[in-house]
Structure 1
């Protein structure tokens, strides 16, 4: 349920208890705004505390949500609020078509949608960040994992002249110069085969930038292979980021990546 917010969820057993006390409870809180505020007060009377779930997104900002979506927490996506204020997620699409595109790939693997994994190409010293079902970013240098996870400030504040607004997530500046920015490949298509799920990401913009011998700018397409993510209770309580590998490719314009569970003691960092 959402009423001016990102929404919330309650369990079926709690809903049955709440239903019995709800009518008398809401009469005590006519001054609270919205159904969610009144339900929160009723749950408090029952002695129930709320647990913050990172998969709910209030999205109190304007414009380009790329930074938030590309660095989604390691939790299932639950809700996205204020879509009328957000730019389309994918280039050259309307807002509705963009949402349909995201929902289409989410149907293939709803638990993995937007889940970020990072791998390093030791041959060229590239850093590759895969936000499954949405975007792949290729950095032309070594980016340490904590920095790759930080939300890029691609959006604008909710209120005009409110620069310097603090958010509940760790951020970093979004590079204005496209030639200094990482390469971005947006989801193009998804398919299911005998070896799992294949998602293809393509470059949507071509800037007039200098291309060096080992530059990732020559890449036109990135293919990502994965298996459907099934989250059990242990993984939900203590989620762990998946690992990925740069696979051999037959073309210098195509990169292939395999996503897998990390080994027990595996670390994600650039090996020398």
Structure 2
């Protein structure tokens, strides 16, 4: 059903039909105690099916929801409910400051907020997973994008009394395996600047985001020569244009530099027509 906490959208004709029949619906369902349950039943009785919109989030999850937010569905973020139950989404801030911090990214580009992209640095055998405006992960092995889109189960179910499955999506378990556990970075700051294009003598607006390491991973390297422990900051460049969801395709990215003193650089861009992100 559509949850009132996450929110739902009604067309004008459906709202009109509900108003005309709401009293009858209330009489039919006196045993329902909450409004979203009643409305779901009434809408079903009107013959209208529910269309799922992936950007509405009831988030009946408890504790650390960073794993979920770092692998957000490929859809515009519309709502986040029950953040009062979850731990602060940025671990160095309280709940109120965490939400305000996320909104600083949204004010720059709401269309890309939490949108995930992945790219690879094959010389070092690293995979990058970027959740725009929220987090960035570095894995010390080339994990396919199809796996990276599954959220880490950092959270717990709303009720531990229920039997599995607890979620309507696949998850990955958190482990101490060095090749499966990422280095975790969180969004710190964002700026907008113009980058000169020498070929056309024009300035191209870009958004520059900085993500900083949350804490040391405290695991041995996945391979002896390619540890990412020295990276303390990730700088992510993205277009200043809004993300177009019409084609229903995510963006691609390129790893620009990992050889600096402590900073990796990644650029997000539109995928080429037949490009596939595969390792």
TM-score by length of 2: 0.85
Give the structure 1 partner of residue 227 of structure 2: 215
Contact 1:112/1:228 (<8 A) preserved: no
Aligned counterparts of 1:154 and 1:119: Cα–Cα separation in 2: 23
TM-score between both structures, scaled by the size of structure 1 = 0.88
User: Which of 210, 219, 233 is the aligned partner of 1:200?
Assistant: 210
Say whether the 8 Å CA contact 1:114–1:132 is kept in structure 2.
yes
Q: Secondary structure at the match of 1:186?
A: strand
Give the Cα–Cα distance (whole angstroms) in 2 for the partners of residues 104 and 160 of structure 1.
35
Aligned partners of 2:235 and 2:263 also within 8 Å: yes
Q: Secondary structure at the match of 1:83?
A: coil
Give the equivalent residue in structure 2 for 1:6.
6
Q: Which residue is equivalent to 2:172?
A: 172
Task: Tell me what 1:239 maps to.
Answer: 248
Question: Which deviations, in whole Å up to 9, do the C-alpha atoms of 1:142-188 show, x marking residues without a partner?
Answer: 10121111111111232346685431111111124789621011000
Structure 2 residue aligned with 1:35: 35
Unaligned runs of 5+ in 2: 195-204
Equivalence for 1:67: 67
| Alpha-carbon contact 2:139-2:180 (below 8 Å) kept | no
- Runs of at least 5 residues in structure 1 that lack an aligned partner in the other structure: none
Cα contact 2:119–2:254 (8 A) shared by 1: yes
Q: How does 1:1-272 map to 2 (within 5 A)?
A: 2-3=3-4, 5-160=5-160, 164-176=164-176, 181-194=181-194, 195-210=205-220, 212-228=224-240, 230=242, 235-236=245-246, 238-248=247-257, 251-270=260-279
Residue pair 2:112, 2:243 contacting (<8 A) in 1 also: no
Kept in 2, the 8 Å contact 1:157–1:163? The answer is: no
State the SS of the aligned residue for 2:249.
coil
Q: 2: CA distance between counterparts of 1:40 and 1:101?
A: 34
Aligned residue-pair number: 266
What is the alpha-carbon distance in structure 1 between the residues aligned to residue 49 and residue 121 of structure 2? 45
- Aligned residue for 1:85, secondary structure, equals coil
Answer whether contact 1:90 1:186 (CA < 8 A) is retained: yes
- Tell me, yes or no, if the aligned pair for 1:200 and 1:223 is still in contact at 8 Å: yes
Quick check: 131-140 or 38-47, which moved more? 38-47
Deviations 1:236-272 (A, max 9, x none): 4x511110011146724111111111111000012xx
Structure 1 residue matching 2:118: 3-state secondary structure: strand
- Once the two structures are TM-superposed, the CA of residue 231 in structure 1 deviates from its matched residue by 5.3
In 1: Cα distance, 2:258 partner to 2:122 partner = 15
CA contact (8 A) 1:179 1:207 kept: no
Q: Deviations over 1:104-154 (max 9, x none)?
A: 211211121111000011221100000101100000011012111111111
> Residue 108 of structure 2: SS of its match in structure 1?
coil
